[in-house]
Amino acid sequence: MMPMIAPHPVLDVRDVWKTYPLADGREFHALRGVSLRVERGRKVAVVGRSGSGKSTFLHLAAGIDEPTRGTVSVLGRELRGMSDRQRTLQRRERIGLVFQFFHLLQHLDVLGNVVLPSLIAGDSRGQFEPRARELLDRVGLGDRATQTVQKLSGGEMQRVAICRALQRRPALLLADEPTGNLDDETGRRVMDLLLRLVDEEAGTLIYVTHSRELAALADETWSAHSGEFERL
């Protein structure tokens, strides 16, 4: 019998450094030798102070930036060496992004914001609109699809942003302080909803948070300090 080959982890980061030159000729190390693996279906929290390297790590995982040293691979495909277009396609096809400040388009209605990734990818309306309406129903906003986003509360806007990120069924969902612009109670409800949706979608989630309480909801937590990561 042939041995079973384990599938690639969703994210594999190996000895990653990210260094920026300073005006005085010195260097600033935003990340210092970070290594971690995130397996399929896991929910991983990253905690740490501002400037500790959390957002830099997410940008590298998303292919928005490249490491100075080391490798970042998503589903077995290394991001270093990809062209800008290839990394953009990688994000479009495999990665969903949720931001602290929602980044919704004010001139579009709720449904228009959710389907935007599908429109950009050239999906057919028959494919993407039922999916978007299903997601909005699941987050309790099915009856708000034709409303402008300006009429939504902060928590409702973040729910729309989560639906948008899940619209094309990404293998990896990256959330940068997804509750950072919400009050504690609303933030906890949004985080609970995000985790439930990821479970239902059989997805993989990495989220950055300042809150140890919200980090405790994950399967595992990593602490970032001065560009170094330690599993707690």
Q: What is the pLDDT of residues 53-80, one digit of tens each?
A: 999 999 999 999 999 999 999 999 898 8
Q: Where are the domains of the chain?
A: 11-231
Mean pLDDT, each 10-residue run in order, the chain (232 residues): 62 96 92 96 94 93 93 91 87 90 91 94 89 94 93 92 93 92 88 92 93 93 96 94
CB 136 within 8 A of CB 111: yes
As given in the structure block, the two tokens for residue 117 are 């990734």
- Architecture of the domain whose range is 11-231: 3-Layer(aba) Sandwich (3.40)
B/e letters for 43-82, b = 16+ CB within 10 Å, e = fewer, are bbbbbbeeebbbbbbbbbbbbbbebeebebbbbeeebeee
To the question of pTM greater than 0.85 for the whole model, the response is yes
In order, the DSSP letters of 28-53 are EEEEEEEEEEE-TT-EEEEE--TTSS
- Give dist(CA 79, CA 60) in Å, integer: 9
As given in the structure block, the two tokens for residue 167 are 């619209």
- Give dist(CA 103, CA 165) in Å, integer: 11
- Give dist(CA 131, CA 142) in Å, integer: 12
Please give the pLDDT value at position 3: 46
For residue 171, what are the contacts with CB-CB under 8 A and spacing of at least 6? 10, 40, 74, 75, 94, 95, 203, 204
